[in-house]
Amino acid sequence: MTSENQPKAGHRDTPTSTEFREFMASGWATDDRSPTPRAEVADHAARRREAVSRQFPGERLVIPGGGLKVRSNDTDHTFRPHTAFAHLSGMGAHADPDSALVLDPRPEGGHHAVLYFRPPAPRDTEEFYTDSRYGEFWVGYRPTIADIESQLGLTARHIDSLAADLAKDDAAARLRVVRAADPQLAELVDTTRAQAGTSLSGPQQQEADEELARHLSGLRIVKDEWEVGEMRKAIAATHEGFEAIIATLPEAVRKGRGERWVEGIFGLYARHAGNGIGYESICASGDHANTIHWTKNTGEVRDGDLILIDAGIEIDSLFTADITRTLPVTGRFTDVQRKVYDAVYEAQQAGLAAVKPGNKFSDIHAAANEVVARRLHEWGLLPEGVTLEQTLAPEHGGWHRRWMVHGTSHHLGMDVHDCQLLLRKDYMDAELKPGMILTVEPGLYFKADDLLAPEEFRGIGVRIEDDVLVTEDGYENLSAAMPRSSHEVEEWIARVSGAAGDRGDVQ
C-alpha cells in the first residue's frame, strides 16, 4: 500500500504487531457452555408469526430489530429493539442491535422464520478485541447461532448473509419491510425489490410496507395469557417503585433538587427489577404537574405541594406498566387539593365503569369527560351561559377541555402507547374485547398563571392512571393494589412512611 492510500491515524489508534495478534489469539479456555434452553416465550412468538404468515401468504417479510442511536459523538443510547421485532422473535431486553427477523415464504405455503444477527467472532480474529461495537472484549458475551436457535426455536444465520438471502428466488419481488425500524435496511429492501423487477410503483411499495407495520401494531391489541402475566409483573414492580418514592419523599424535600431525587429513586428500582423505565418518568411537583409531559424533572419538591408521578417499569420481556399517582408531599391533602383530587377520582371511576366488551374505546373518554365537564360547570369555570350540554357538544363545544386537554385512555403493552399505527376505526372507534389492556387516566390541570381558574386552584394538577384488563364481563384493574381515593392515598403514605421510618430508610 502506498503512503497516499494509508488510512489516517486517529488519536486513539494503537499499533498492532504480528506478535500482539498472535498473543491475543492464544490462551483462552474452551467455551463449553450448553446452548441456552428454550425460552417460555418461544411458543407464543411462534403463534404470532403464524398469524402474520396467514395474513401475507407468499411474501417475504422483513422485521428489523433496529440499530444503535448516537447519544453524543461516539457514545450511543442504550439499545432497545423495535417492538415488532421483539414481539415476533421473542427476544426482549437481551436482543443485539442490527438484527433482523425474516419470514421467508415456503413453496408449500406458510413461512420459515430466520433471525439474522452477528454472532461472536472467534477469539483468533481481530474483531474479538478491536471492534468496540461488536467485539466480545468490548461489549461482553453475545449469543451464538446455537444459542438463538435453542432459545427461540427458529433458524438463526449470520447477518452478513441477509442481503443475498433477500435477493434469492422470485420472492425478492414480493418483499415488505417495517421501514421505521431500520432506514438503512429499508434501503436494502428497496434496492432488492427494484433489481428483482417488482411490479409495484414506489408509492405502492411504501403503502405495502405501511400495511405490514400497521398489521404488526394491531397484532398486539389483544393480549394472550402469557402477555397478561408479563403485564402483571411490570405493574407489581412499578408498585414497589412508587412505594420507594413515598418512603423517601422527606429526603426529596430536604436534599433539594427533589424531582431529580424522585426520578432517580424510581429509576433505581426500574433497573433492578427490569430492563429500566418504560418511558421518561414524569415527577412533577407543584405547578409542574400542569405541564402534561413534564419530563425535565428539574424542580424542587416542597412541603404542601402535590407531586404527580407518571412512571412505569419495563421488565426484561419489554412489557411496561404506565401508572400515575398524585401524592400530597406531607401526606395530607388540603381541602382545596382534595376537592380537585376527588373530582378526578370520580371521573376515573366513571371511565372504569365504561370498560366492558361491546363498548367502544372512545366510550371511556366520554364517560370520564362528562364528569370533568359537570364538575367544572358546577364550580362556575365555564363561560357565562354555557351549559353542560353545550360544552360536551363534539363540534362546537369543548370549553371544559381547557383544564383536561388529553385523552383518557390508550392501549398498553410492549409500548407505553401501544398499537399506535392502527387507523381510527380500529382504535378509537373499535369495540373493546377481552384481553385488551388499556389505561384510564383523567386529570385536571390549573396552571399557576391561568386567570380563568379560581385563585385557590392555581398551581394544582392532578392525574390518576391505572392499567386495566378487559375481561369477559367487564374489567380487572391490574394496578388496584395501589390506592387511589384521597383517603386511601393518605393511609398509604402513612403506612409506607411509617414502615420506612421503622427500618431507618428515611433520615
Q: By three-state DSSP, how is residue 431 classified?
A: strand
**CATH number of the domain that residue 116 is part of:** 3.40.350.10
Q: For residue 132, what pLDDT is reported?
A: 87
Q: What is the mean pLDDT of the chain?
A: 94
Given a cut of 60, whether residue 3 has pLDDT beyond it is no
Q: What is the pLDDT of residues 270-318, one digit of tens each?
A: 999 999 999 999 999 999 999 999 999 999 999 999 999 999 999 999 9
Asked whether residue 384 is domain-assigned, the answer is yes
Residue 238 and residue 210 share a domain: no
Given 218, 250, 268, the domain boundary residue is 218
2 part of a folded domain: no
Among residues 153, 185, 218, which one ends one of the domains? Answer: 218
Round to whole Å and give the CA distance between 209 and 196. Answer: 17
pLDDT of residue 32: 83
**pLDDT at res. 471:** 98
Q: Is the pLDDT of residue 507 over 50?
A: no
Q: Given strand 437-440, what is the order of strands in its sheet? A: 437-440, 466-470, 475-477
Q: Answer yes or no: is 305 within a domain.
A: yes
Q: Are 294 and 282 in contact (CB under 8 A)?
A: yes
Does residue 4 sit within a domain? no
User: Are 290 and 345 part of one and the same domain?
Assistant: yes
What is the CATH classification number for the domain harbouring 337?
Answer: 3.90.230.10
* Residue 9 domain-assigned (yes or no): no
Give the mean pLDDT of 433-456.
98
Mean pLDDT of 79-97: 96
Q: How far is residue 355's CA from residue 359's CA, in Å, rounded to a whole number?
A: 7
Q: Which residue has the higher pLDDT, 183 or 8?
A: 183
132 in helix, strand or coil?
coil
Q: Residue 489: give the domain boundaries.
A: 225-503
Tell me what pLDDT residue 10 has: 57
Regarding whether 267 and 211 lie in a shared domain, the answer is: no
pLDDT at position 405 is: 97
What domain count does the chain have?
2
291 and 179 share a domain?
Answer: no
- Within this chain, do residues 250 and 212 fall inside the same structural domain, yes or no? no
Once rounded to an integer, what is the mean pLDDT over residues 104-110? Answer: 96
Domain boundary among 181, 202, 218: 218
Based on the domain organization, do 367 and 431 belong to the same domain? yes
Q: What is the pLDDT of residues 193-228, one digit of tens each?
A: 999 998 888 899 999 999 999 999 999 999 999 999
Asked, for residue 308, whether it belongs to a domain, the answer is yes
Q: What is the CA radius of gyration of the chain?
A: 27
Give the separation between CA 493 and CA 507, rounded to whole angstroms.
16
For the stretch 459-500, pLDDT in tens is: 999 999 999 999 999 999 999 999 999 999 999 999 999 877
